[in-house]
Structures are given as structure tokens and as C-alpha cells.
């Protein structure tokens, strides 16, 4: 009987401390990302990521473009320009992979989770042609899948580049415009509600995982 109140008291302390730590987790993560986005080499990292994502790397450049534009809204359009240029150049590299090396990468594609998106991209090319690359800039399908598919299908190169510029540029400049318009007010709002947003994303991921497991 004596242990029970003590145990409850100890448990309550542990729970309260855990909640406080978790509630600060997203705030600290957000502050760290914003601080890192102001690094003197951040633009170089953004350019490298934008190039790589268009041909082989899985992480989209938005994960750097957004915090950099939030931290420095006056330079948002410059960041969008660098992201677009590097992404289009990376798309050309992805096109070259599909055009010259598809026989080498096809076995890897077939065993990866990119195979289904690749087949979907092929279907889009068959239906829309030039417009498939333009739409790919806003599509949830990884852009690298479209660049490799364009090369594998021998899409005419100049229209491919133009569509890449319009699609990727449209996406990144739209992000920059929204963040530049929001400026410091948007950054302050995000900072205020970052914990709620973070836990909301976690909840959505968990719910999505449960739905996906039942749908399989």
C-alpha cells in the first residue's frame, strides 16, 4: 500500500518529463534546420542535391529549398533559380542514363520500389508525350523516373529540356513565391505551431501505414 502512491507519483513525473521532452523535439529540430539552412555552404549543398535528385538520389531538393527560403525570404527566388538550373542539368544526366545505360540500370529498377512509378511514367509518355515531363515537375512520382524513362524512350532532347525547365521551374518558383510572400510572419507562425504540425505529420504517417498494411 505504501508503494502504490509512490509508484504513481514516480510514474506521473516520468510521463510529464517525457511529454515535455517530446513537445520540444520538433521545436529543436526546426531551429536546427533553420540554422543549418543559413550555413555559408548551404547554396552549394542545395545545388548538389537538386542535381542528384533528378537522376539518382532519393531526397527531393524541397527539404533544403523550403527552410532556406524561410530563413532568408529575400533570397527565395535566387534559391529557386539555382534549384531549377541544377535540377534541369541533373535531368539531362538522368536522360543520358536512360539513353546510354538503361540495359545496366533496368535490373536494378525492376527490383526497386521505383519500378511501378517507372511503368506509370512510361504510360504517361505514351499518352501525353512532352506534357508528361512538364507535369512530372508537380507529380508525386519521383522526377528521376521521368528523366530516365525519357532517355530510354529516345524522347527528342530539346523538348525534354524545355519541359523540364517549365515543370521544375514552375514548381520551385511557386514554392519560393509563397515563402517570400509569407516572409518572417510565416516563419514565426511555423515556429509557433511546429510541434502541432510535427505530431500531425507523425499521425498521418502512422495512419497511412496502417491503411497501406490493410490494403496490401
What's the CA gap between 214 and 148, in Å, rounded?
A: 32
Domain membership of residue 74 as a residue range:
41-183
Residue 72 region by backbone torsions, left for phi larger than 0, else alpha for psi between -120 and 50, else beta: beta
Any domain includes 152: yes
**Does the residue 137 lie in any domain?**
yes
Number of compact structural domains in the chain: 1
Q: Check residue 165 and give its pLDDT.
A: 95
pLDDT in the model for residue 8? 61
Q: Does some domain include residue 13? A: no
Model pLDDT, residue 179:
86
- State whether the Cα torsion 169-63-135-146 is positive or negative: positive
First-to-last alpha carbon distance for the chain, in angstroms, is 50
Q: Residue 29's CB: how many other CB atoms inside 10 A?
A: 13
Identify the pLDDT of residue 1: 46
Residue 128 lies in a domain: yes
pLDDT of amino acid 157: 96
Q: Is residue 1 part of a domain?
A: no
**pLDDT attached to residue 50:** 95
Query: What does the pLDDT look like over 86-96, one tens digit per residue?
Result: 999 999 999 99
Q: With respect to residue 199, please indicate whether it lies within any of the assigned structural domains.
A: no
Residues lower than pLDDT 70 in the chain: 1-31, 33-34, 184, 186-202, 204-205, 208-210, 212-216
Phi, psi of 41 (to 5 degrees): -105, 10
pLDDT of residue 49: 92
104 lies in a domain? yes
| In-domain check, residue 170 | yes
Amino acid at each position: 500500500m505504501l508503494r502504490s502512491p509512490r509508484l504513481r507519483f514516480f510514474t506521473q513525473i516520468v510521463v510529464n518529463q517525457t511529454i515535455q521532452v517530446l513537445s520540444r523535439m520538433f521545436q529543436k529540430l526546426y531551429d536546427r534546420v533553420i540554422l543549418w539552412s543559413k550555413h555559408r555552404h548551404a547554396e552549394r549543398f542545395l545545388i548538389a542535391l537538386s542535381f542528384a535528385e533528378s537522376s539518382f538520389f532519393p531526397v527531393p531538393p524541397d527539404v533544403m529549398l523550403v527552410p532556406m527560403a524561410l530563413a532568408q525570404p529575400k533570397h527565395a527566388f535566387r534559391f529557386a533559380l539555382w534549384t531549377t538550373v541544377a535540377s534541369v542539368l541533373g535531368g539531362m544526366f538522368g536522360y543520358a542514363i536512360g539513353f546510354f545505360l538503361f540495359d545496366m540500370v533496368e535490373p536494378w529498377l525492376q527490383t526497386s520500389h521505383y519500378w511501378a512509378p517507372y511503368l506509370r511514367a512510361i504510360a504517361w509518355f505514351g499518352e501525353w508525350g512532352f506534357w508528361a515531363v512538364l507535369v512530372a515537375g508537380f507529380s508525386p512520382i519521383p522526377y528521376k523516373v521521368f528523366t530516365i524513362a525519357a532517355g530510354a524512350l529516345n524522347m527528342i532532347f530539346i523538348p525534354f529540356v524545355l519541359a523540364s525547365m517549365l515543370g521544375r521551374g514552375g514548381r520551385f518558383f511557386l514554392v519560393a513565391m509563397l515563402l517570400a510572400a509569407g516572409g518572417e510572419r510565416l516563419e514565426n507562425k511555423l515556429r509557433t505551431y511546429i510541434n502541432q504540425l510535427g505530431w500531425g505529420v507523425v499521425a498521418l504517417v502512422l495512419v497511412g501505414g496502417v491503411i497501406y498494411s490493410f490494403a496490401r
